[in-house]
Amino acid sequence: MNPETEYREGLDELAAHYKDILKLLGEDVEREGLLKTPMRVAKAMQVLTRGYQMDAHQVLREALFKEDYTQMVIVKDIDFFSLCEHHMIPFYGKAHVAYIPNGYITGLSKIARVVDIYSHRLQVQERMTLQIKECIEQTLHPLGVMVVVEARHMCMQMRGVEKQNAITTTSDFSGAFNQAKTRQEFMNLIHNKS
């Protein structure tokens, strides 16, 4: 499915609601610049929330490979965009994911896809961090998983406290990452810019 050309059921109804919202904001929905806006926004929202239609566990299962490697596997600087569920305003940043295999590895791109799936839902950063970790943990059964997410929240930049440079960092970990030494190795590796 191509999220930019194939849309889910309810698209017309969603567009009708956006037309009503524009009216409630005081706009003239018949003016040239807004004629197609309700449908554009409806399509955009379906793209931005396409993660509801995807199974992150299945994505990992489709690329499972038996391997005896037992050292840390890190995919860092995974760009993501999401919508804050409180204001439906974007937050964006980078996710860093590590796991220590326990007999199986997965395709590296699948880790990035897991981040995409959970970020393409109405979210809070804390839950998204936990969901990414739990998905990898439950599907790969590794010796440990650690996820760090660093994000800028437009709801803090555009409204409210209006702090443009604030970055929120969340983390979650399990297994071997319960050891401070292992966590520190991961943190050193994700912040190494070489």
Cα-based distances in Å from 37 to 6, 15, 43, 120, 183: 18, 8, 10, 21, 47
Give the catalytic positions in this structure. Answer: 84-87, 125, 153, 155
Cα-based distances in Å from 95 to 8, 76, 126: 28, 6, 12
The single residue listed with the structure tokens 């930049």 is 157
Tokens of 163: 């702090």
Q: What is the dihedral of CA 165, 189, 92, 142, to 10 degrees?
A: -150
* Radius of gyration from C-alpha coordinates of the chain: 20
Tell how strand 144-153 and strand 90-100 pair up: antiparallel
The answer to whether the beta carbons of residues 137 and 145 sit under 8 Å apart is yes
